A and B are shown apart, each in its own frame.
Chain A
Amino acid sequence: MSFFRRSPWILHYDGSSCNGCDIEVLACLTPLYDVERFGVVNTGNPKHADILLVTGSVNERNVEIVENLYRQMPDPKVVVAVGACACSGGIFARAYNVQGGIDRVVPVDVYVPGCAARPERIIDGVVQGIAALEGKRAAMAAGRRRGALRPQSGSQPAGAA
């Protein structure tokens, strides 16, 4: 897998999911799918994560947490929404405590469909996330060469300039 420029570190956060997508994310780490062989590492610390993987929708209470995690991640960073819930609120979109997909709070780069999302699709989503990450890094580097590095952005995606 030579096109993997480096090994992305993933931070997984479970919004108000039903567990289905979470378990599938976890299943990606286990022997049948084993994403670690591609160098993908699951971390619990946002300060050294590259990809934020969110399952489940945002509700009243976890909205700050998703925001917080995203803010703490270093640039460049990518957000992957896993499952129908994270993409749009899914089957729960009409429930009173659900606000919708996570793109309500943070910019999403890759949407992974499915209810539950299948492990193959999640892995594919991460691979696309890596491409997006590379793109952002290149843009940042170009910006730096021009001496126009933007200050560390708050909740804006980096390298969008």
Chain B
Amino acid sequence: MKRTIVPLGPQHPVLPEPLVLDLVLEDERVVDAVPTIGYIHRGLEAMVEKVEYTEMGFVAERICGICSFMHGMGFCASIEDIMGVEVPERARWLRLVWAELSRIQSHLLWLGLGSDAFGFENLFMHCWRMREEILDIFEATTGGRIIFSVNRIGGVKRDIADSELAGIAERLRALGERFAEIARVFRADPSIHHRLAGVGVLPAGEALAAGAVGPMARASGLATDTRLLGTHGYDRLDFEPVVEAGGDCLARVLVRLREVEQSIDLIRQLVDRMPKGDGQPIETRVRGLPDGETFMRLEQPRGEVVYYLKANGTKYLERFRARTPTFANIPAMISLVRGHDLADVPNIILTIDPCISCTER
């Protein structure tokens, strides 16, 4: 049969970001997909040559505007690990509050984009309206909506007052009730099921072989969640990773729906268990220069991120590397689109929740 190559992107029908896939088609069926990236490649990792380690965190935050907080947190935690800095108790709890809020924000954003892609614009608007409430909390607590720069090496820049934390928990409880209505639509709407159920099935074995991470892996029945390591303070919270068995597009939606609910619960736990009292220390002063290397893992909304930092006792790091979750999920995505109709490709791409600026850096 005659083969046609259809370039998908860079100016994209489904994503605001320029991902390019050359789809090799036989009739309407995709037989292969070849990725090209580089439209957003900035050379961010090489900036360690010019930016001092104390300021590099601000660059790391701009790896991606969706997981911005988590990138800053990962960078600071890596340096803290190398230098053996003890982060104050309060700061560790606060970081987790912002981290879990980021997860809710990111999943709501994705649920919106997803529904837009399968033709449900109304749902898109609802998801993004809820997302604005999370951004409100960010703005009230950090001053920024997207990029907060609230992480410092050795702690955080701002405290959240106890009363405010209680307020956040209350707002999230109310949000959770409204979210339940939306979740019901995702779970029950026949047109959504029609588009997603049974499409793009990734069996557990393949997910493991392809190195899939995050909701992508969990939707295929793998209980991998970097939070289970118990690092960053997650050992003080009770949770089970959200796992679905289906492995299809629908399962990936369901995992994210449940993770929103999970994060709301985690924040409630955080607020309940956090040692009370305003005016606790939130930052350890850091002196000296880092020397050594570390691998640091963190569970971002899209899955496991791995930072590798190598310092050599100067102000400038020798190497900074961020292996972001989308980078790990692209091979699985490519094997998924093979054998599907062209019209299903957007949904499959979208359900891995690709973040291209993370991938290319």
Contact = CB atoms under 8 A, between A and B. Distances in A.
**Direct A–B touching, Cβ under 8 Å:** yes
Interface of A: 12-27, 30-32, 44, 56-57, 59-62, 65, 69, 91-92, 94-98, 115-116, 118
Interface stretch (B33-41, B170-178, B310-318, B332-340): B33-41
A22 B62 contact: no
B18 A30 contact: no
Interface residues of B, number: 39
Contacts of A61: 38-39, 41
B145 A24 contact: yes
Interface in B127-169: 128-129, 132, 144-147
A20 B146 contact: yes
A98 B43 contact: yes
A92 B46 CA distance: 11
Interface string B224-247: 000000000000000000000000
Contacts of A56: 40
Given A27-B132, A62-B18, A115-B147, A16 B11 contact: no
Given A18-B357, A62-B39, A30 B146 contact: no
Given A27-B128, A69-B11, A95 B109 contact: no
Contacts of A60: 38
B46 to A, nearest CB: 6
A54 to B, nearest CB: 12
Contacts of A22: 16-17, 65
B58 interface: yes
Contact of B50 (A31, A94, A98): A94
B129 A95 contact: no
Nearest to B358: A19
Interface in B51-66: 51, 58-59, 62-66
20 contacts: A13-B11, A14-B17, A16-B40, A17-B40, A17-B65, A19-B64, A20-B146, A23-B16, A23-B109, A30-B129, A30-B132, A62-B10, A62-B18, A91-B58, A92-B59, A94-B47, A94-B50, A98-B43, A115-B147, A118-B145
B125 A30 contact: yes
B62 A20 contact: yes
Contact of A98 (B17, B38, B42, B58): B42
A135 to B, nearest CB: 28
Nearest to B18: A14
A68 B190 CA distance: 41
Given A20-B146, A116-B147, A12 B16 contact: yes
Interface of B: 10-11, 13, 16-18, 38-44, 46-47, 50-51, 58-59, 62-66, 68, 109, 112, 124-125, 128-129, 132, 144-147, 355, 357, 360
Contact of B68 (A13, A20, A25, A69): A20
A46 to B, nearest CB: 9
Contacts of B125: 30-31
A65 B18 CA distance: 11
Sort A-B residue pairs by CB-CB distance and give the 10 closest, nearest first: A20-B65, A19-B65, A30-B128, A97-B43, A96-B43, A95-B43, A116-B146, A18-B62, A16-B40, A20-B146
Nearest to B67: A19
A19 B41 contact: no
A18 B59 CA distance: 10
Given A59-B40, A65-B11, 12 more contacts: A14-B16, A15-B40, A16-B39, A17-B40, A18-B357, A32-B132, A61-B38, A65-B18, A92-B62, A94-B47, A97-B43, A98-B43
A22 B358 CA distance: 14
Given A16-B40, A57-B42, A91 B62 contact: yes
Contacts of A44: 11, 13
